[in-house]
Amino acid sequence: MVNRASWEIRLETLRVNDADEDDFWSDGDEPYLVAVGFRSKFRTAGSTQVFWSGVLDDEWAEGVEGGQSRGIPASMGVLAYPDVELPTRQEILAGSMPELVGAFVLALESDATPFGAVRDKIHEMQTVIREQLLNLIERGNIDLQNPGPSIAAAQKAARDTLTPSVAEAIGLWLRSFADPDDFLGVGLLAFGGVDPSAVEGTGLPVLTAGDVTLSFGADGVSYDVLGRIVAHDSPRWRGFELVGANTAATSGSITAVSRIPNSMEVWFAGGNGSVQDKFWYEGGNWQGFELAGANHAAATGSISAVSRIPNSMEVFWVGANGSVQGAYWYEGGNWGRYELAPAGSASTSGSITAISRIPNSMEVFFVGANGSIQDKFWYEGANWQGFELAPAGTASTTGSITAISRIPNSMEVFFVGANGSVQDKFIYLP
């Protein structure tokens, strides 16, 4: 069985040997790092990944001077590689492909280049790295009888091909600004994802736990980045039975929210048409109660929940009579109930969803009994209101609906059309 583990490259400390702005009139450097991680498995289609956190931050080490050090924020310095296989030579011969794992790390000193422009350039860099890895690794050949030299050659090709082009392109680009950020260089960390026994005698860096150091310097500036490579056992899904057999409606719905980090709450339609609640608080066991009695929910209908603020939860479900029911809870009080839409409003085999785009508002979307899409919305201090988002015959009365709010002034709704299509409705608010 192939050994596997989850790994992290942790860049933890920036050590400034010589700063750019450490004379009497200066207030020190404002360095930042960009760590672009990658992984690609030899001759394995679809295995190439190139990623970075998207975080650009020059405040964590603001004012650092020569001889000083700063801790690198995890959002900028930690790269995760879950579930990496480390095959032995015998396992490689049997068909388990080795993987190239690593990171390109850029060091910059902030001046006046807009972060938006830097971010655009990093996205271009990701594309270049991906194309090279696809060519060198994913589509490449490897001598399975002697994998070490092939992996080493791929690493050298990655360094020789990528490093100069990345450095030159970014340096030239930055100089296009009036007071550009200083580009101090790019370092490469690249490791073979193999068991060390597979490459003995080759000198090939393999993925093993230990310390790493990268050095950067240009025009009298000198930085060292110190870090570690650490391994964890690959996480495995585990589970348990929350409620026993014959408790939930087998054609019904289930939903969950976490209103605070140390608590979860689950609601589902019972086999008798009730609405059941199960809740958990850290340090305790799962507990539960009946939120609505038998025949209150459509056994083939839907249920949705939202927590718009940490001390409140709201649950919505399709009633057995085609109504839309709501229940709410505020910390320190009991659950309250109300009817959001009367009998015959909703499809008893359709779907319902809810979102809260801002803390003082909620929006509920559901499939109408006539195949329409209905919207109900609430703003703090006012009553629930509603309108028809899509006319009769638009949606499948047995289909699903979901909604997201990616930014506070926008919502997007997706639903299954009556003809089996997927339909989208969106809005941008002023």
- State the residue for tokens 């699903």: 400
- Comparing CA positions, the residue from 357, 368, 362 lying closest to residue 410 is 357
The phi-psi region of residue 165 (left if phi > 0; otherwise alpha if psi is between -120 and 50; otherwise beta) is alpha
- Does the pLDDT at position 163 exceed 80? no
* End-to-end CA separation in angstroms for the chain: 57
For the chain, give every domain's residue range.
3-233, 254-428
Q: What is the mean pLDDT of residues 210-215?
A: 95
Which two structure tokens, joined as six digits, stand for 193? 């994802």
* H, E, C per residue of 239-255: CCCCCCCCCECCCCCEE
The token duo for 29 is 């450097």
pLDDT score for 220 = 78
Tokens for 375? 């919207």
Tell me the DSSP string of 24-63: TT---B-EEEEEEEEEEETT-TT--EEE------SSTTTT
Give the residue with greater pLDDT, 105 vs 23: 105
Superfamily holding 254-428:
Fucose-specific lectin (2.120.10.70)
What mean pLDDT do residues 309-322 have?
96
pLDDT attached to residue 150: 61
What is the reported pLDDT for 43? 87
d(CA 295, CA 221): 73
pLDDT at site 169:
57
Q: What is the C-alpha to C-alpha distance for residues 218 and 175, in angstroms, rounded to an integer?
A: 14
Alpha carbons 98 and 259: distance in angstroms, whole number: 42
